[in-house]
Amino acid sequence: MADLHVLIKPVSGKCNMRCGYCFYYDVMQKRNQADLGIMTETTIKALVDSAFAYVGDRGSLNFVFQGGEPTLWGMESFQSFVSYVERQKQNQKVGYGLQTNGLLIDNQFSKFLAQHRFLVGLSLDGPCDMHNKYRLDRNGRGTYSRVLGAAQRLAAQGVDFNILSVITLEQARHPDKYYNFLKRNKITHGQLIPCINGYGGANAGESLDGEIYGKFLCRIFDLWLKDWEEGQAISLREFDNLAGMALAGIEPELCSMAGKCGPNAVIEADGSVYPCDFYVLDEWRLGNIHEAGLQDLLNGELERKFIRMSEKLAAECRQCNVLKLCRGGCRRLREPWVAGEPSRFVWCKAQKSFLPYFISHLDRLAMAIRQQQKRKKQHSF
């Protein structure tokens, strides 16, 4: 019995938007073949069969679709995928996820996502001016109103979704404006994704400064904690994970906070398998599901090397007083590697500013969580 998270790119990097900071567009340009096509029925079956073989009769599988923009695959393809999974499933626990820009999420698609209990990550960077600065369609037009419409349709159908916000200097300089947008639009779940530069240091829009990002996190945390104390809590994934780690010793579910990589599978449209979304590169191609099963690919030497490298920290990180919570950050954010050793975590300055501030408020946070739990119990009678 095993658990497996499978990230699927059914249309490779194809997208109906051209965001100024897109990391996957940068990744594609580093491959010999940038676009790996569109996933076929044959590849669907090979992928699903291999995933079930990996987890065994009573394991759990989580299939998450990402891009590019995965909804370009079409709803019929999603229906075909889910139908095949349900036919093959025995005693395994299966979940579905979708990360989308929302432009193709109409009422029919929303109903499908609700019916099959997809957890949806919807990319929305905040109010109109913040969102439209970088999140443009292929014709250079802002997408804010269309994405907000998608959020409303998802909510109307009862789809579980969270907002994925890429944090650039625009949000970092105006934390109150960003957070108040979440509250005003009744966003209950969100994730803060700091904007990173491309491979080789290529600038992704306005490069986010560690000092400014640290101040942003402190201010957002203040607003978040105040809402917890007032019984109006918003779930912010990073803070939720930190609270679990610091107060209950719970391991983070967010891989970038785990300190090392796990055996995850990223499967491109042609069936090629990679160890991580940031490393869908020729040198990290583990193989192809048409040629070998996930059991072999995820236990092969290249995968083991990838995981071993993720365990390495810069010397400065190993001596740091916030390492217990920071854990050195995501492997990708320790690039570049020099002579087999990683660089310091790119958000080191931000973490050294924010984490001591977070720790100093743990008593308040613990009390707020207890009060929230008490309110829930009272409302259950």
State the catalytic residues.
Answer: 277
Give Cα separations from 341 to 29, 335, 352 (angstroms): 25, 9, 21
**Residues counted in the chain:** 381
- For 54-78, the DSSP string reads HH-TT-EEEEEE-SS-GGGG-HHHH
Q: Are 86 and 32 in contact (CB under 8 A)?
A: no
How far is Cα of residue 276 from the mean position of the Cα atoms in its chain?
11
Give Cα separations from 94 to 2, 5, 7, 117, 275 (angstroms): 12, 10, 14, 10, 21
Give Cα separations from 110 to 143, 155, 380 (angstroms): 18, 9, 30
CA distance 355 to 218: 9
Sign of CA dihedral 263, 268, 269, 271: negative
Q: Phi and psi (nearest 5°) for 65?
A: -100, 135
CA distance 109 to 150: 10
**Peptide bond between residue 336 and the one before it cis (omega within 30 degrees of 0):** yes
**Of 358, 374, 350, 126, which is closest to residue 225 (Cα–Cα)?**
358
CA distance 351 to 345: 9
**Of 225, 229, 164, 159, which is closest to residue 192 (Cα–Cα)?**
164
Give Cα separations from 177 to 127, 302, 361 (angstroms): 8, 45, 23
CA distance 108 to 15: 20
